[in-house]
Amino acid sequence: MRYKFCPLCGAELKDKEAGDDGAVPYCKECDRLWFDTFSSCSIVLVANEYNEIVLLRQGYMSDKYTSFVSGYIEPGESAEETALREVREEIGVTLDSLEYAGTYWFAKKELLMHGFIGRAKKCELTLSKEVDAAEWTPAKDVVKTLFPKAPGNAAYAIYEIFMEKLK
Ligand SMILES: [Zn+2]
């Protein structure tokens, strides 16, 4: 998001040259540059010892099992802390390990997604109210219901990394 007005004093911002960054919205009153902002989230492929992956069904996205656990990073959290917290909150699983699996830009939502692969022992899933349903799904079957490979589809990219590691 590009600022038009100062979030502190409400004055209209004027572009100011800021070195290598070029023209940046600037508040003269507050003597402050307002760089473009975006949201950040973590998204986690959760797999068990049988290489089954947790797929979530979330009605607002699709009636199929299309997604992995994900959530916005809160101020003060690292992407890793968000990943662990969201997995605990959404499906009631405590991960044994967490491995970084790249970052993905989701243009439609101006969202930088931090990808992870998490490992846990197979267990009953305890769902939060945000999740309509979730299932352990054999890794090879996951691709059948994921959204197609496309820029910004972090789930598919992380799934490819996971499958590559299984070879
Ligand atoms: Zn201001």
* Cβ 91 vs Cβ 125: under 8 Å: yes
CA of 139 from ligand 1 middle (Å) equals 51
| 3 state DSSP class of 83 | helix
Looking at residue 49, its pLDDT comes to: 97
Query: Is the Cβ–Cβ distance between 4 and 14 less than 8 Å?
Result: no
pLDDT in tens, 19-67: 898 999 999 999 999 999 999 999 999 999 999 999 999 877 778 888 9
On average, the pLDDT of the chain sits at: 95
Ligand 1: centre distance to CA 7 (Å): 7
What mean pLDDT comes out for the span 69-79? 97
pTM for the model stands at 0.89
Question: Could you tell me the pLDDT band of residue 87, with boundaries at 50, 70 and 90?
Answer: very high
The torsion angles phi and psi of 96, rounded to 5 degrees, stand at: -85, -30
Distance from the alpha carbon of residue 15 to the mean position of ligand 1, in angstroms = 13
Phi (first) and psi of residue 157, to 5 degrees: -65, -40
Report whether 147 contacts 155 (CB < 8 A).
yes
> Measured in angstroms, how far is the CA atom of residue 72 from the centroid of ligand 1?
27
Q: Are 70 and 79 in contact (CB under 8 A)?
A: no
- What is the predicted pLDDT for the residue at 59? 78
What H or E segment, with its residue span, contains residue 119? strand 111-119
CA of 108 to the centre of ligand 1 (A): 29
Ligand 1 center to 161 CA (angstroms)? 45
Query: Does position 98 have pLDDT exceeding 90, yes or no?
Result: yes
* Residue 135, token pair as written in the block: 């299932």
What is the length of the chain?
167
Taking residue 97's Cβ as centre, other Cβ atoms within 10 Å add up to 9
pLDDT digits (tens, 9 = 90+) for 106-140: 998 999 999 999 999 999 999 999 899 999 999 99
Mean pLDDT is lowest, of 40-44, 57-61, 70-74, 149-153, for: 57-61
